[in-house]
Structure 1
């Protein structure tokens, strides 16, 4: 998980995940503009294993989080692209998250959430066990994508694999189990990532 090297940062070309746009408009007689990205909606699942009374999360390296922890990142990108400069510890780009995935299939949100739990955490959860907590618009200044969070209680009997995501799609995911006490202690940290804020809101 922590073995990340040969990092190369470059401008984004065509992407199936992020599409930038520039909007101009007139509001109350004032001409305005705004830059934003169109990204996929997503689902997240808060999992609680009732067999052993632990929450189940995932841990993975997030390049965007890592990049935004680089001091003077704009200077690094524009003036010193791909040169060897001191970088922050890789750990700064590794996040603890709810099991989640993008909505990129013609399926219900519940079905997509079920598939993500199976792929990432290894639990085969019936759709009827998924309880919707809420939906909201995320990154409202730059994206506005819709996020939907579910809750599911799982048992050890539902575990059919070790999870870890799809290696063929470049996923490298670690399954993490934490007691309620451990989660509360983790959430006392000053700096938390977006998904960690989701964890805080759900508990």
Structure 2
């Protein structure tokens, strides 16, 4: 997959269907305060363990905000702006959380999920977003593969299989950009299935 990113421009955003800024004004301990926030959709994510490969299936994709913040800081990464993530999606289609994550699994990684297990509900971007994310788990195997994945509408998602023996090194490798939720999911899995991965 060609992952070349070129001709990046920073533009003003005034009409997004994904984020909407707003300000909350409130009184705390007798002092009036303002807090700038961003409304974003709630989301779902899933940790996928491939039984035949003894590996977790992650998605890798270019995330412009990561590129922007790293480039501003002057830090140099091997894969500038690319992240390793759980398969995930926004709750913006009017479906249930389970229906949404099953649809995302088909679109992003090409696997049909028959059942999922809820892991936890977390809230992200606590200082300005506070949106909810529900995390799930499912075991997958070769028989469940029904497509190539890769996302829709030009998402260009790359599938990455992370073998269990690679998890410990991956978790501490700062060159591989990842979220705290992914690290939590690995620890949850190791504890649930009594596997020493971290």
Shift of 1:72: 5.6
Alignment map for 1:104-123 (pairs within 5 Å): 104-123=92-111
- TM-fit CA distance, 1:70: 1.7
Map of 2:150 onto structure 1 = 164
Which residue matches 1:31? 32
Structure 2: which 5+ runs fail to align?
187-198
Name the TM-score, length of structure 2 as normaliser.
0.88
* Partner Cα distance (1:192, 1:102) in 2: 23
State how far apart, in whole Å, the 2-side matches of 1:191 and 1:22 are: 35
RMSD (Å) for aligned C-alpha atoms:
1.8
- Structure 1 length-normalised TM: 0.86
Q: Which runs of 4+ in 1 moved over 2 A?
A: 87-90, 190-195
Aligned residues of 1:123 and 1:161 also touching (Cα < 8 A): yes
Is 1:153 the equivalent of 2:139? Answer: yes
Alignment of 1:135-154 (within 5 A): 135-154=121-140
Greater relative contact order (Cα 8 A, min sep 6): structure 1 or 2?
A: 1
| Structure 1 unaligned blocks of 5 or more | 74-86
2:55 and 2:162 in contact (8 A); partners too: yes
From the superposition, tell whether residues 194 and 89 of structure 1 become closer, same or farther in structure 2 (CA, over 3 Å). Answer: closer
Distance (Å, rounded) in 2 between the aligned partners of 1:24 and 1:194:
33
Q: Distance in 2 between matches of 1:194 and 1:177?
A: 15
Structure 2 CA distance, aligned partners of 1:121 and 1:154?
11
Contact 2:82 2:177 in 1 (8 A): no
Aligned twin of 2:181: 198
Is the contact between residue 66 and residue 90 of structure 1 (CA under 8 Å) also seen in structure 2? no
Contact preservation (8 Å) 1:2, 1:90? no
Q: Secondary structure at the match of 2:70?
A: coil
Rounded to whole Å, the distance in 1 between the matches of 2:171 and 2:158 is 19
Q: What is the total number of aligned residue pairs between the two structures? A: 185
CA distance in 2, matches of 1:41, 1:192: 25
Q: Please state how far the C-alpha of 1:170 moved relative to its aligned partner.
A: 2.3
Instruction: Tell whether the 8 Å contact from 1:35 to 1:142 is kept in structure 2 after alignment.
Output: yes
| CA distance, structure 2, for counterparts of residue 139 and residue 160 of structure 1 | 34
Describe how 1:35-184 pairs up with structure 2 within 5 A. Answer: 35-71=36-72, 91-126=79-114, 129-166=115-152, 169-184=153-168
